Amino acid sequence: MTSTTGPVLVGPKPLTEDEILAVARRDAPVRLTEEALAAMAASRAQVEALAASPTPAYGVSTGFGALATRHIPAELRAQLQRSLIRSHAAGSGPEVEREVVRALMLLRLRTLATGRTGVRPRTAQALAALLNAGITPVVREYGSLGCSGDLAPLAHVALALMGEGEVRDAAGALRPAAEALAEAGVAPVELAAKEGLALINGTDGMLGQLVLACHDLARLLRVADVAAAMSVEALLGTDRVFAAGLQALRPHPGQAASAANLTALLAGSAIVASHRGPECTRVQDAYSLRCAPQVTGAARDTLEHARLVAARELASAVDNPVVTPDGRVESNGNFHGAPVAYVLDFLAIPVADVASMSERRTDRMLDVARSHGLPAFLADDPGVDSGHMIAQYTQAAIVSELKRLAVPASVDSIPSSAMQEDHVSMGWSAARKLRRAIDGLARVLAIEILTAARALDLRAPLTPAPATAAVVAALRAHVGGPGPDRYLSPEIETTVTLVRDGTLLAAAESVTGPLS
């Protein structure tokens, strides 16, 4: 993935994952392209012509949802737009993370830039200015059903554009929107015909979270291979089952990539070599070791499918009604979040399963009946010390939660808007639970790595592979090695940070080169 420098150019073309990450997480500035400004101006002319027509047009001169049968006279249409945003900004619960709000703002801006929504260029420029000023509207956890778009989350953004509601400024302080906009030199927008709908009728919230989740999960699946390799060594497992020839008998690309990673990570391991001879009486390793490529590989293939769906959605112009290339303004159902909701739910399944396998490997390292010579719970003085006994409890609690989070949200639907919107996707809910699941996976993998590193230290004088040894060394720069029981929670949290920020993965790749 290439790094993004300078402003992210927003136009009709799809944004890349790195461009979205640059704006959402690294505060990269944005700039609308000349092509985007021209496209918006052209479609706006079509909307204004329609607004002047005596023929009612949904979203331009009518009410919304179940109220679409009422024709709104021209003198009430500005009020119509304000009322739409105020009433739809009905979220509740905790604030949504800043990176999620910035991602959804960017993706909505890109849809406006396609010229298919009919907004004025100045409205899109105001949204870009909000991003560039680091102003983040307060969006609440609950409110989106994932159909007619992420209405409530996007309405909170539109409300801020109007100079109403609450925002976080660039320093993170909670402030009235009017005050923060004035300080940043951003004039509040007086919404014109159709613009209220155009600002809120999209899948941008769930899509932004999908893009962020795909990026984070791709890294965690490589970390899962690192953790598995460390556990294979710690449990005196074999690397022969990861041979390319064996993997080719079942040609799933993700499985091949994971097995190749494990082979590279275990190359040169004195621990693996120590029991490779005929004196070793074990016929085969447990599934959690032997089948690691099959599970993390299947997770990779699921991730690739999710990225394909994300790419298609990133190339879309989601609004209702939409301005077609030939100038018509047509109602449609493209705002339905099902395509995105399904893959958000789908990803939660391998996240739970990869974590489940990780926990099983950890448990084996702590059990004297299965750990092949390691002390009980890796304790310094078993009985006096408990070692990593309760670290595995923490893993088990998280894995149990991940199984619940793997239950799909998208199979549910509660009718809304007086049965006009009688089937919804619940895609926002799927996105929210996937974010929690990915957080849990990072924690489970961190505990496995922390445990495996301790087990590898206890295998001395046998030495691990150069790659896994580099991971142990990177961890030991922050967390001490074996010894009497210590306050364990801070060590777990430190390891979680090292997993999330890429430190431990980078240590492994300093030896192996980039892992797949």
471 touches 508 (CB < 8 A): yes
Q: Please indicate, yes or no, whether residues 125 and 154 belong to a single structural domain of this protein.
A: yes
> Does the active-site annotation cover 287?
no
The length of the chain is 516
Rounded CA-CA distance 73/53 in Å is 11
91-120: pLDDT as tens digits:
999 999 999 999 999 999 999 999 999 999
Q: Is residue 405 situated within a structural domain? A: yes
Phi, psi of 78 (to 5 degrees): -65, -40
**Contact (Cβ atoms closer than 8 angstroms) between residue 388 and residue 377:** yes
CATH number at residue 21: 1.10.275.10
- Cα-Cα-Cα-Cα dihedral sign, residues 455, 437, 99, 128: positive
139 assigned to some structural domain: yes
Strand partners, 95: 140
Query: Strands, E, within 52-163: which ranges?
Result: 92-95, 136-137, 140-142
As a dihedral over the C-alpha atoms of residue 399, residue 401, residue 406, residue 411, rounded to 10 degrees, the angle is: 170
Residue 73: pLDDT band with limits 50, 70, 90: confident
| Residues 242 and 344 placed together within one structural domain of the fold | yes
Residue 87 pLDDT: 95
Cα separation, 250 vs 298, whole angstroms: 12
Out of 187, 202, 217, a domain closes at 202
Same domain, 358 and 459: yes
Q: What pLDDT is recorded for position 281?
A: 61
CA 32 to chain centre: 25
pLDDT of residue 419: 82
Q: Given pLDDT bands bounded at 50, 70 and 90, which one contains residue 3?
A: very low
77 within 8 A of 53, measured Cβ to Cβ: no
Once rounded to an integer, what is the mean pLDDT over residues 52-56?
77
CA distance 136 to 122: 19
- Asked if residue 462 and residue 361 are part of one domain, the reply reads yes
For residue 21, give every residue at least 6 positions away whose Cβ sits within 8 Å of its Cβ, in sequence order, or none. Answer: 4, 211, 212, 215
* Number of Cβ within a 10 Å radius of residue 424: 23
Cα–Cα distance, 497 to 504 (Å, whole number): 10
Count up the domains in the chain and report the number.
2
- Spatial separation of the C-alpha atoms in residues 129 and 110, rounded to whole Å: 14
Q: Looking at the domain assignment, is residue 512 inside a domain? A: no
Which of residues 154 and 80 earns the better pLDDT score?
A: 154
Quick: pLDDT tens for 330-368.
889 889 999 999 999 999 999 999 999 999 999 999 999
Task: Please write the tens of the pLDDT for every residue from 197-245.
Answer: 999 999 999 999 999 999 999 999 999 999 999 999 999 999 999 999 9
Task: List, in sequence order, every residue forming a beta bridge with 323; answer none if it has no partner.
Answer: 329
Q: Are residues 24 and 51 in the same domain?
A: yes
Q: Give the pTM.
A: 0.95
Q: Is residue 381 part of a domain?
A: yes
Give domain status of residue 496, yes or no.
no
Please compute, for residue 204, the number of CA atoms within 13 A of its CA located in the half-sphere on the CB side.
Answer: 32
506-516 burial code (b ≥16 CB/10 A, e <16) = ebbbebbeebb
Segments of 27-126 assigned E as strands: 30-32, 92-95
Confirm whether 57 is domain-assigned.
yes
Give the residue from 202, 234, 261 where a domain finishes.
202
Mean pLDDT of the chain: 94
440 domain-assigned: yes
- Tell me, what CATH number does 308's domain have? 1.20.200.10
Name the maximum alpha-carbon separation found in the chain. 91
Do the Cβ atoms of 117 and 322 come closer than 8 Å?
A: yes
Q: Which of 159, 184, 202 is the last residue of a domain?
A: 202
186 with 315, same domain: the answer is no
Tell me, what's the pLDDT at 66?
A: 62
Asked if residue 189 and residue 274 are part of one domain, the reply reads no
Report DSSP state, residue 343.
H
| Residue 152 pLDDT > 60 | yes
User: Do 214 and 180 reside in the same domain of the chain?
Assistant: no
- Asked if residue 193 and residue 222 are part of one domain, the reply reads no
How far apart (Å, rounded) are the C-alpha atoms in residues 269 and 146? 50
pLDDT of residue 4: 47
The dihedral over CA atoms of 211, 217, 219, 222, expressed in degrees to the nearest 10, equals -150
Please, are residues 313 and 203 in contact by the beta-carbon 8 Å criterion?
yes
CB under 8 Å to 504, separation ≥6 — which residues? 223, 226, 449, 471, 474, 475, 495, 498
In a domain, 506, yes or no: no
Least Cα distance to 226 among 449, 484, 454, 479 occurs for: 449
- Residue in the block written with tokens 């009017």: 178
Query: Could you report the per-residue pLDDT of 263-317, keeping only the tens digit for each?
Result: 999 999 999 999 877 666 666 899 999 999 999 999 999 999 999 999 999 999 9
The one catalytic residue in 58, 142, 287, 342 is: 58
pLDDT recorded at residue 53: 78
Nearest in space to 55 (alpha carbons), one of 431, 314, 316, 328: 328
Same domain assignment for residues 194 and 168: yes
Residues 101 and 237 in one domain: no
Q: Could you list the residue range(s) of the whole structural domain that residue 157 is in?
A: 8-202
Asked if residues 433 and 404 have their Cβ atoms less than 8 Å apart, the reply is: no
Asked if pLDDT for residue 55 goes beyond 50, the answer is yes
Q: What span, in angstroms and rounded, lies between the C-alpha atoms of 127 and 510?
A: 42
Could you tell me if 195 and 268 lie in one domain? no
